[in-house]
Chain A
Amino acid sequence: MITLFSLFLLVLLVITAVAVVQTRNLFAAVMLLSIFSLLLAANFLLLDAADVALTEAAIGAGISTVLFLGALSLTGEREAPRKGPRLLYLVAVIAATAVVIYATFDKPAFGDPQAPVQTHVAPWYLEKTPEYIDIPNVVTAILGAYRGYDTLGEVFVVFTAGIGVLFLLASGPGSGSKRRGSRLTEVGQVTGLRHYLVPRVVGRLLVPFIILFGLYVQFHGEYGPGGGFQAGAFVAAGIVLYSLLEGEKKALDIIPRKVLMGMVCGGALLYSAVGVLGMLMGGNFLDYSVLLDNPVAAQQVGIILIELGVGLTVTGVLLSIYHAFAARGRA
């Protein structure tokens, strides 16, 4: 039954993907991409990967759609006519597809207990996590502690991406480009949804709950699905909603750009600092067990701290990018 439902979702995924490629209206493409992410999240959930599903739903279907719309408000919603040798593209795509499909023949069958992924380190993680870290969500233990380097790398990828987008888009007050925004922005900047009573009232009601849920996901990540990446997306989404309802300026009054930059850098620094602190106290880089006398409690403290760092950076980067788009659209 699950397999059938999974197949159904995968077929829908393919249909959505084809529709994304086919449509010339970029606005529709963004919406279809959001649906694509939501279907993918449902599929992940069917495979019992709740953490990944939450990330895909929050970041793929949620906040990245908002950022795409922000980008569209700068570029317009029509795709430029395609040029070039279409036959060549077709051949390249078919060749690449054939290679990928050929590669899948080597993959172990779905759910095969003898597959390398089931026999390599996974049993060790599942067996030893209660002893070493003692938190129920093994995914958080792997991300935060066992594979701490990888997660640190991810945080710096997010950090670098944020800095890059800000370099491309940032415009000082008054020095913005003369580029004409699309109709969407013009409506947005005149009204900022201010004249719509219903979205404003309901949105105001929802913003605190969205941010509260983000904090829950942040600090409950050791017990259930969640963690810094998802929480950052939720909190950022709450503040973006507030900014859409009340105007960008009010949102910037609450969290000014300087604070945002502090969050972007501070989160990454906090993560690294926890690692360096471990070194100073006689352990390896990102070895949390030396932070306190009790190694298990120290691991938990370390994970909470680095998750906080991840959450700060992700929130800061997403909000900075949103504000950069909004400022550029207004200029």
Chain B
Amino acid sequence: MDQILDILSWILLSAGGLFVLVGGIGAIRMPDLYTRMHVASVTDSAGAILVLTGIMVQAGLTLATVKLAAILLFLLFTGPTASNALASAALLSGVRTQDKDHKAEEDHSS
């Protein structure tokens, strides 16, 4: 039984780590702010959910699991909100997406 739980949490943690890695690589490779945010949000959502669930499986039915669940809930509320606020602020201060029409304004926005 313990072994099954270990394997399950191992799978969850690895998958979470993979998503975080993908988010990190994407945040560097993507061309402009909005696409970067889009990729980075994978870290917030899939990455955080998988990693925290993996730790919860390790912790079992203890107080630690309840605390982890509370952290997860908090992250699920705040992460998307922060992304929304960031995108709104960027839009309001004139950051454009990078496509052919706006090449000229690239310097202005950076």
Check if B11 is an interface residue, CB within 8 A of chain A: no
Q: Is the beta-carbon distance between A205 and B84 smaller than 8 angstroms?
A: no
Chain B residues, Cβ within 8 Å of A199: 81, 84-85, 88
**CB 8 Å contact bits of A183-194 with B (1 = contact, 0 = none):** 100010001010
Chain B residues, Cβ within 8 Å of A206: 77-78
**CB 8 Å contact bits of B71-100 with A (1 = contact, 0 = none):** 000000110110011001100110000000
Q: Is the beta-carbon distance between B92 and A193 smaller than 8 angstroms?
A: no
Q: Is the beta-carbon distance between A187 and B93 smaller than 8 angstroms?
A: yes
A183-B93, A187-B92, A187-B93 as given contacts; A196 in contact with B78, CB under 8 Å? no
Q: Is the beta-carbon distance between A202 and B78 smaller than 8 angstroms?
A: yes
Total number of B residues with any Cβ neighbor in A under 8 Å: 10
Select B88's contact among A183, A196, A202, beta carbons within 8 Å. Answer: A196
CA separation between A193 and B89, bound complex, in Å?
Answer: 9
- Interface secondary structure of A, over-half rule: helix
Q: Is the beta-carbon distance between A202 and B81 smaller than 8 angstroms?
A: yes
Chain A residues, Cβ within 8 Å of B78: 202, 206
Chain B residues, Cβ within 8 Å of A196: 84-85, 88
Chain A residues, Cβ within 8 Å of B77: 202, 205-206
Spell out B's residues near A (CB within 8 Å): 77-78, 80-81, 84-85, 88-89, 92-93
Chosen A-B contacts, 23 in total, with CB atoms closer than 8 Å, are A183-B93, A187-B89, A187-B92, A187-B93, A191-B92, A193-B85, A196-B84, A196-B85, A196-B88, A198-B80, A198-B81, A198-B85, A199-B81, A199-B84, A199-B85, A199-B88, A202-B77, A202-B78, A202-B81, A203-B81, A205-B77, A206-B77, A206-B78
